[in-house]
Chains A and B, each alone.
Chain A
Amino acid sequence: MPSAATAQADTDGVLDAVALEGVSRVYGSDSASAVRAVDNVSLAIRANEFFTLLGPSGCGKTTLLRLIAGFDHTTSGRVLLNGRDVGGLPPFRRPVNTVFQSYALFPHMTVADNVGFGLKMQGRPAAEIAARVAEMLQLVRMEALANRATSQISGGQQQRVALARALAPNPEVLLLDEPLSALDLKLRKAMQIELKRLQRDTGITFVFVTHDQEEALTMSDRIAVMSQGTVRQVGTPREIYDHPAERFVADFIGDANMLKGELIRVDGATGVVRLAAGLEVPARVPSGAPRSGPVTVVVRPEHAGLTRDPAVSGIDVVVENAVYVGTDTQYHLAAADSTRLVVRSQNTRADIGAYEAGARLKVLIGDHAVQVLRD
């Protein structure tokens, strides 16, 4: 189990915005049919952080979000907001707001009334509400449509209103449940940048749920990759992408070449792996990985190079297929032991059509390209 997250709690004396301590949510009572939607999750989400829960559908990420919001209750474990145990509090007493996947805008209210609803329920004076609503609508650039019905605005605009509504009460933590999934690609890209800007401008902690790895990599300060109710790895986008600790993470995020090898030397977090082709390369070894013997390593397609030079030490391969994808070319390769590899090389004007199918090449693996997997 990754335990890096809990270890970080409180080390710098600042309370975590959200702390989950051994949180489980089990549906169904008898052990035979019980479903562990969230299974013993511990996480520390720092203040002012853009934190993403990433995983395939059914991995428990939305359940985890609902446990923080208070729509669902934990079977065991504690949920703390800024150090305060909120376990017994209903959603309307928790200082968090949610941007729902469906937006859930109130259809019987105008855009402005939607944005002001939370403040109204908090019993703020009317003048303050009006000022704050105007401020929020300006923040999401919706001030011109304040008096529209929510059914008279587009999906992207509804998204902005949902965001403004959730931000208006100035929550300690903003929870976002796949808020961009209903938008088309172009709008989604624009909203990704917009969300990041809002998070920076407001300084509110964002907890963002998505199944879209690219979205997670672009927006997040840190990512927790989830699978089957558990957190598999927590780290910055770069850590998660460059140094996936286990097969699931390597597979789920980006493309990965999985190669067989043998760990012949380990020194802390680094070691040396002898690949099946006989090549010895330096590698990163995550905690919890075997310290010797056979291992699986991952090499990202763009972290490997190709050359015709027979003098260089590398893996001998034959090009099976070259796929031109605009910015780069993907080479599908077969090694002598019939291992399949993919190497991606960026296209420049000079080397158009550099290698053709059938070419005999060597795959170069750089010093920082190899990551040992835990499983």
Chain B
Amino acid sequence: MTGAAATALPAARARWLLLAPALLILAVGAVGPLAVVVIYSFLTPGDYAGVKWIFSGEAWVNLFLQQDIFDDTWQWADAHLSIFWRTLLLSVGTTAATLVLGFPTAWFIATRPKRSRSFWLFLVTVPFWCNLLVRTFAIMQLIRNEGVINTILRGLGLIDQPIQMLYTDFAVGLGMAYVYLPLMVLPLYASIEKLDFRLIEAAYDLYAGPWRALTRVVLPLVRPGLVAGSILVFIPALGAYVVPRMLGGGNRMMIGNLIDLQFGQGRNWPLGASLALFLMLIVLAALLLYVRQVGRGDARNG
């Protein structure tokens, strides 16, 4: 009879009880803060940071437009637009660079004997053991004017003046490509590892040279990995903060740094909130594109 009583507990209620911890965390950790950000983006900035509870759409308008201080005419917010543009360029560039660097790496690992693959994968993950800040500092030591590279080049007599690398877009791109490379290699490896290498022989057999075997057979088949890796690099790259802050200096900002600025020295929380939401919209758009791409691939393969 007791067994029957236990099973008599309504199944629906049991499910809710099991879900409750996760739902609580989602409510407190995701929905709540997001709601705060949405609400703040429609308020008026406080005099000394914070917000005044007066509704205003100004923060959203200020994403793209700004009012001249003297004659009150509206102009494009050049500073914001150039930061958006730089963010987009650097993220796309980082994705492309990690793709070009990561594909041969993933290929190399996937074609090793099964037993040694885990060793190579382990090497790929080693950088994660070290704090991002420390690794970024290490890059600074390499590329700054008195850094390792410039010192060696000067020692060899190849240059008289140090090459300015730190605080350039190049430095930011280099740092981001370095930081995000494992995120590209791992999904690519997962895809390549599943690839039936006999298909490459079949392509060779049917008069496709190496380049066409790559573009007509290999790339279409590892596309899920290409897309997943690109998304995994592109999305965090859009929100990058530490690398552009340290390697780009003050005037090579990306959106992440701009958001930080609004909540800090800028004392414009609503603008910071609207920037954060704008960034989230871009990420959502990228994810939608990803879902559609992968869905299309499945339909064709399945």
- Residue numbers in B under 8 Å from A117 (CB-CB): 203, 206, 208, 216
Q: Are A91 and B301 in contact (CB under 8 A)?
A: no
A105 to B216, CA, bound (A): 13
- Minimum CB–CB distance from B294 to chain A (whole Å) comes to 14
Residues of A contacting B205 in the complex (Cβ-Cβ under 8 angstroms): 69, 71, 91-92, 96-98, 166
Count residues of chain A with CB under 8 A from any CB of chain B: 26
Question: In the complex, are the beta carbons of B204 and A90 less than 8 A apart?
Answer: yes
CB-CB under 8 A from B220, the residues of chain A are 108
Do A121 and B207 touch across chains, with their CB atoms under 8 A apart? yes
Q: Which of A70, A106, A149, A151 has the most CB of B within 10 A?
A: A106
When the two chains form their complex, are residues B198 and A100 in contact, meaning their CB atoms are under 8 A apart? Answer: yes
A106 touches B301 (CB 8 A): no
B33 within 8 A of A: no
Min C-beta distance of A64 to chain B, whole Å: 16
Within 8 A of B (CB), among A98-112: 98, 100, 102, 104-108
A60 neighbours in B (Cβ, 8 Å): none
What per-residue 1/0 map shows which CB atoms of B265-302 lie under 8 Å from chain A? 00000000000000000000000000000000000111
Enumerate chain A residues within 8 angstroms of B27, measured Cβ to Cβ.
none
Q: Are A91 and B204 in contact (CB under 8 A)?
A: yes
Rounded to whole angstroms, the CA-CA distance of A220 and B301 in the bound complex is: 37
Contact of A121 among B199, B212, B302 (CB under 8 A): B212
**Which one of A71, A117, A169 has the greatest number of beta carbons of chain B within 10 Å?**
A117
C-alpha spacing A106/B301, complex, angstroms: 10
Q: Which residues of A contact B (CB under 8 A)?
A: 69-71, 90-93, 96-98, 100, 102, 104-108, 117-118, 121-122, 149, 151, 165-166, 169
CB distance B204 to A71 under 8 Å? yes
- B148 at interface by CB-CB < 8 Å: no
- Chain B residues with CB under 8 A of A105: 202
Known: A107-B199, A107-B221. 18 other contacts (CB 8 A): A71-B204, A96-B205, A97-B206, A100-B198, A100-B202, A104-B202, A107-B301, A117-B203, A117-B216, A118-B206, A121-B203, A121-B206, A121-B207, A121-B208, A122-B207, A149-B301, A151-B302, A166-B206
Rounded to whole angstroms, the CA-CA distance of A106 and B221 in the bound complex is: 9
A171 to chain B, nearest CB (A): 9
Q: Which residues of B contact A122 (CB under 8 A)?
A: 207
Residue B83, interface by CB 8 Å: no
In this complex, the member of B198, B199, B202, B302 whose beta carbon has the largest number of chain A beta carbons within 10 angstroms is B202
Q: B205-245 interface mask toward A, CB cutoff 8 Å, 1 = contact, 0 = none?
A: 11111001000110011000000000000000000000000
The 10 closest A-B pairs by CB, nearest first: A118-B206, A104-B202, A121-B207, A91-B204, A104-B198, A121-B208, A108-B220, A98-B205, A92-B207, A92-B204
CB atoms of A169 and B221 under 8 A apart:
no
Residue pair B208, A104 in contact (C-beta under 8 Å) = no
Evaluate contact between B201 and A106: CB separation under 8 angstroms.
no
What residues of chain B lie closer than 8 Å to A166, measured between beta carbons?
Answer: 205-206
A104 in contact with B204 (CB, 8 Å): no
- Selected from B196, B208, B300, the residue in CB contact (under 8 A) with A92 is B208
**What is the chain A residue whose CB lies nearest that of B209?**
A92
- Interface contact B300-A108, CB-CB below 8 Å: yes
A residues within 8 A CB of B300?
108, 149
Chain B residues with CB under 8 Å of A90's CB are 204, 209
How does the 8 Å CB contact mask read for B179-197 relative to A, with 1 for contact and 0 for none? Answer: 0000000000000000010
- Docked complex Cα distance between A102 and B199 (Å): 10
Q: What are the residues of chain B within 8 A of A108 when measuring CB–CB? A: 217, 220-221, 300-301
In the complex, chain A residues whose CB is within 8 Å of the CB of B302: 149, 151
Q: List 16 A-B contacts (CB under 8 A).
A: A70-B204, A71-B205, A92-B209, A98-B202, A100-B202, A104-B196, A104-B199, A104-B202, A117-B203, A121-B207, A121-B208, A121-B212, A122-B207, A151-B301, A151-B302, A166-B206
A92-B209, A151-B301 known; A106 vs B204 contact (CB < 8 Å):
no
Q: Is the CB of A102 within 8 A of B201?
A: no
Kindly list chain A residues whose C-beta atoms are within 8 Å of the C-beta of B196: 102, 104
Within the complex, the shortest CB–CB distance from A91 to chain B, in Å, comes to: 4
When the two chains form the complex, which single residue of A71, A118, A121, A165 contacts B201, counting CB atoms closer than 8 Å? A71
Closest to B207 in A: A121
Q: In the complex, what distance in Å separates the CA atom of A100 from the CA atom of B202?
A: 8
Closest Cβ of chain B: how far from A68's Cβ, in Å? Answer: 11
- How far, in Å, is A235 (CB) from chain B's closest CB? 29
The residue in chain A whose Cβ has the minimal distance to the Cβ of B299 is A149
Give the complex CA separation of A90 and B208 in angstroms: 10
Kindly identify which residue among A69, A102, A106, A151 contacts B217, using a CB–CB cutoff of 8 Å. Answer: A106
Determine if B207 and A118 form an interchain contact, defined as CB atoms under 8 angstroms apart. yes
Q: Do residues A104 and B209 form an inter-chain contact, with CB atoms below 8 A?
A: no
Q: Select one of B201, B209, B212, B217 contacting A100, CB under 8 A.
A: B201
A104 touches which of B201, B212, B216 (Cβ 8 Å): B201
Contact B221 A165 (CB under 8 A): no
Chain A residues near B207: list those with CB within 8 A.
Answer: 92-93, 118, 121-122, 169
Complex: A374 Cα to B212 Cα, angstroms: 51
Alpha-carbon gap, A71 to B216, bound state (A): 19
Q: State the Cβ distance, B215 to closest chain A Cβ, in Å.
A: 11
Q: Give, as a whole number of angstroms, the nearest-CB distance from B194 to chain A.
A: 11
- Residues of B contacting A93 in the complex (Cβ-Cβ under 8 angstroms): 207
Q: Could you tell me the distance between the alpha carbons of A115 and B216 in the complex, rounded to whole angstroms? A: 14
CA distance in complex: A98, B221 (Å)? 21
Closest chain A CB from B54 CB (angstroms) = 57
